[in-house]
Amino acid sequence: MPVSREDGQRTLESLQVSTRSPMGALAFHTGGLLVDHGWLRILGGGCDEFPRALDRWNHVGATPRCHHGLLIADDLVGGFFAWFREPRTIHYLAPDTLEWEDLGFGYTDWLRWTFTEAFRTFASDFRWDGWEKEVPRADQALGIYPPLFTEKSHISKRARRAVPIDEVWLLINQFADQLRTE
């Protein structure tokens, strides 16, 4: 998706990265990427169709949205990818466990992985026949009821509707906090 030069430049400066890095190139040259028919949304510099720029979504320069590191992507079913400060690897906040899973990749290797069959295999447990027809706008994910962490029935048997990604982020973190204190 296209990004304005001003938004790309602002994102680069906020993140203090160069266009020679894959993250910087994405932030400067794209509003974001939709991968695998929109299953995965990788953040860039933001645009009208993909309004979540890396810097603004992460509240760079203010209280961060994710205290572990930089949120870099999310998926259709409410999973979130973050580049952790320690260790400097990509982690996945899984919607079925509400736990951060270390994927063991740096940003560049993770980005390559998202375009492989291995990524589709990673996501396969959360897919159902016809999921491609349910992909909402890039600033939304599917709210799933009952939530994926509550029972083991297949996702195809659950209610699904498009909800703002901000709401999904808030809810998944509230659920995770509640379960940790019980």
In contact, 126 and 155? CB cutoff 8 Å: yes
Give percent of the chain above pLDDT 90: 90
Q: What is the pTM of this model?
A: 0.95
Give, as one character, the DSSP assignment of residue 70. E
Q: How many CB atoms lie within 10 A of CB 15?
A: 19
d(CA 122, CA 170) in angstroms, rounded, equals 24
Look at residue 171 in the predicted model and tell me its pLDDT.
Answer: 94
Query: Cα(first)–Cα(last) distance of the chain, in Å?
Result: 43
Q: Mind listing the pLDDT tens digit for each residue in 75-131?
A: 999 999 999 999 999 999 999 999 999 999 999 999 999 999 999 999 999 999 999
Look at residue 152 in the predicted model and tell me its pLDDT.
Answer: 80
Reported as a pLDDT band with limits 50, 70 and 90, residue 180 is confident
d(CA 181, CA 22) in angstroms, rounded, equals 38
Q: In the numeric block, which tokens belong to residue 124?
A: 């396969």
Position 182 pLDDT exceeds 70? no
Q: Mind listing the pLDDT tens digit for each residue in 49-85?
A: 999 999 999 999 899 999 999 999 999 999 999 999 9
User: CA-CA distances (angstroms) from residue 29 to 18, 55, 112?
Assistant: 12, 14, 17
